[in-house]
């Protein structure tokens, strides 16, 4: 019979094939572009990549960990403690390093399936999609060479939906005794640096935080900052990417003066956690930008935790490290702070992990201005890059 010779592409309208693809993980779709020309055009479509990312961003998250300076691994979070599922797979990923000279990477942040890496000693910032291999390298040596010490920098990485642009924000103070703070912002779409000094609220004070302290949420980048000249973080600085303007909200009074505190997101809400090695407190701002909506959601009587994400609606998954035993593992706590489960990581060298890790969702999204036939030249994260797209100032 003639119908038996027909296949899926002949029978189903492309709208339905599209909806099927929406549910298939990004990893599979990347491979399946080569099944047929129709599948290739459906999957490579920008709008499809956008809907696909939105469909999966809350549910298919992975943790990306930089193992050492050139290697990383990626582990899916949704089935981490699922007894019925297979044991978690730790996918090895090669960072996009040049072959000569050597590169050392530090993970700074993630946004929409892209990771922001810092590449030393060349002083490059690399935006990289590990799944598609799409990447862009930006040089900031014009700034870096003048700055001492290294941790005078703070970074931010976010997406401006109104302009379909990714922005990388760097801010720093130029030497140890100088009080001035400078800010520069790189726009991927225009491939240029934007000076935002004028918009920066002063005084900003200095900070003690390590580099990874930014957070992208609700179209804005967030950092902890101090409102006065001492080292105490008591505000959150918000940089709205669309308006290109700054604002501040205050942190809960109970956390002022506590150290160390870090910004994270918990189920789409801005949150702060305090980890003083004996306990972990997680405060969540239930209503965005409403200072009075901060609540202490988790009061966990164990320290050395880096909260990662929520699971099952109320449990929290964290990375836990015990220095004494050199152990790194995933742990799950419930809302009253009880340890529910833990899952050890098969890694012996832990030192950089918990500081150089972030939650990310695999996506097929292209960088702004990516042309279609660049697709063929891009390699996946499994292979090293031959050429970089270097933007110099």
Partner 1 sequence: MELLCIRQWISGLLPTWLSAWCIKPVGGALVRQEPEYILLALMGSPLKKIMLCSSEKEIFSVEEQVMVQHSVIINNMIEDGSYNHEESKIPLDCVDSKTLKKVIDYCTHHTHHHNDNQEDLEAWDAQFLNVDSNGLYDLLMAANYLEIRNLLDLIYGTIKNMIKGKKIDEIRRIFNIKDHGFTPEEEEQNRKEYPHFY
The site for partner 1 (CB under 8 A) is made up of 3-9, 11-13, 16, 19-20, 23-25, 28, 31-32, 34-38, 376
Of 21 and 64, which CB lies nearer to partner 1 in the complex structure?
21
Minimal distance in Å, beta carbon 312 to partner 1? Answer: 17
Token duo for residue 180: 């001035």
Distance CA 43, CA 49 (A): 7
Minimum CB distance to partner 1 smaller for 13 or for 149 = 13
Q: How far is the CB of 52 from partner 1 (least distance, A)?
A: 12
Q: CB 377 → partner 1: shortest distance, Å?
A: 9
How many of the other CB atoms lie within 10 Å of CB of 388? Answer: 17
Output 36 or 312, the one with its CB closest to partner 1. 36
Closest-CA residue to 307 (of 327, 286, 337)? 337
Least distance to partner 1, CB of residue 11, Å: 5
Q: Under DSSP, is residue 327 helix (H, G, I), strand (E, B) or coil?
A: strand
State the residue for tokens 């099927």: 20
d(Cα 215, Cα 359) in Å, to the nearest integer?
11
Residue 325 CA neighbour count, 13 Å, CB half: 8
Task: Output 20 or 295, the one with its CB closest to partner 1.
Answer: 20
- Shortest spacing between CB 43 and partner 1, in angstroms: 12
Identify the H or E element spanning 182: strand 181-187
Nearer to partner 1 by Cβ, of 35 and 339: the residue is 35
Shortest approach of partner 1 to residue 18 CB, angstroms? Answer: 11
Q: What is the 3-state secondary structure of 98-145?
A: CCCCCCEEEEEEEECCEEEEEEECCCEEEEECCCCCCEEEEECHHHHC
64 beta partners: 74, 358
**Considering beta carbons, is residue 38 or 390 the nearer one to partner 1?**
38
CB 25, min distance to partner 1, A:
7
Supply φ then ψ for residue 146, to 5 degrees: -90, -15
CB of 382 to partner 1, least distance (A): 9
Please identify, using beta-carbon distances, which residue of 36 and 148 lies nearer to partner 1: 36
Place of tokens 């072959």: 99
CA-to-CA distance for 107 and 173, rounded, in angstroms?
21
Q: Compare residues 58 and 161 and give the one whose CB is closer to partner 1.
A: 58
The distance in angstroms from the start CA to the end CA of the chain is: 65
């Amino acid at each position: 019979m003639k119908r038996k010779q027909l296949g899926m592409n002949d029978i189903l309208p492309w709208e339905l094939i599209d909806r099927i693809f929406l549910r298939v993980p990004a990893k599979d779709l990347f491979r399946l572009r080569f099944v047929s020309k129709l599948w290739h055009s459906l999957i490579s479509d920008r709008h499809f990549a956008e809907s696909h990312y939105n469909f999966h961003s809350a549910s298919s998250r992975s943790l990306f960990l930089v193992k050492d300076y050139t290697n990383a691994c990626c582990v899916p979070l949704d089935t981490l403690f699922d007894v019925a599922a297979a044991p978690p797979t730790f996918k090895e990923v090669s960072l996009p390093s040049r072959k000569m000279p050597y590169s050392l990477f530090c993970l700074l942040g993630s946004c929409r399936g892209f990771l922001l890496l810092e590449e030393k000693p060349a002083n490059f910032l690399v935006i990289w999609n590990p799944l598609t291999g799409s990447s862009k390298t930006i040089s900031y040596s014009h700034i870096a060479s003048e700055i001492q010490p290294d941790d005078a920098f703070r970074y931010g990485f976010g997406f401006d939906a109104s302009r379909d642009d990714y922005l990388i924000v760097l801010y720093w103070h130029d030497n140890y005794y100088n009080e001035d703070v400078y800010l520069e912002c790189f726009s991927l779409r225009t491939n240029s640096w934007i000076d935002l000094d004028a918009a920066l609220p002063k005084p900003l004070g200095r900070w003690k935080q390590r580099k990874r302290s930014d957070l992208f949420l609700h179209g804005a980048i967030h950092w902890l900052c101090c409102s006065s000249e001492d080292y105490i973080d008591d505000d959150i600085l918000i940089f709205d990417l669309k308006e290109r303007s700054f604002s501040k909200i205050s942190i809960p009074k109970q956390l002022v003066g506590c150290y160390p505190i870090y910004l994270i997101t918990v189920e789409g809400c801005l949150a702060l956690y305090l980890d003083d090695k004996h306990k972990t407190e997680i405060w969540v701002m239930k209503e965005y930008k409403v200072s009075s909506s901060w609540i202490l959601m988790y009061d966990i009587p164990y320290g050395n935790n880096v909260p990662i994400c929520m699971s099952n609606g109320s449990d929290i998954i964290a990375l836990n490290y015990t220095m004494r035993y050199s152990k790194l593992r995933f742990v799950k706590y419930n809302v009253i702070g009880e340890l529910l489960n833990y899952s050890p990581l098969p890694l012996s060298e832990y030192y950089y992990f918990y500081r150089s890790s972030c939650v990310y969702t695999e996506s097929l999204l292209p960088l702004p201005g990516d042309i279609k036939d660049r697709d063929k030249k891009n390699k996946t994260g499994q292979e090293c890059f031959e050429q970089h797209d270097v933007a110099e100032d």
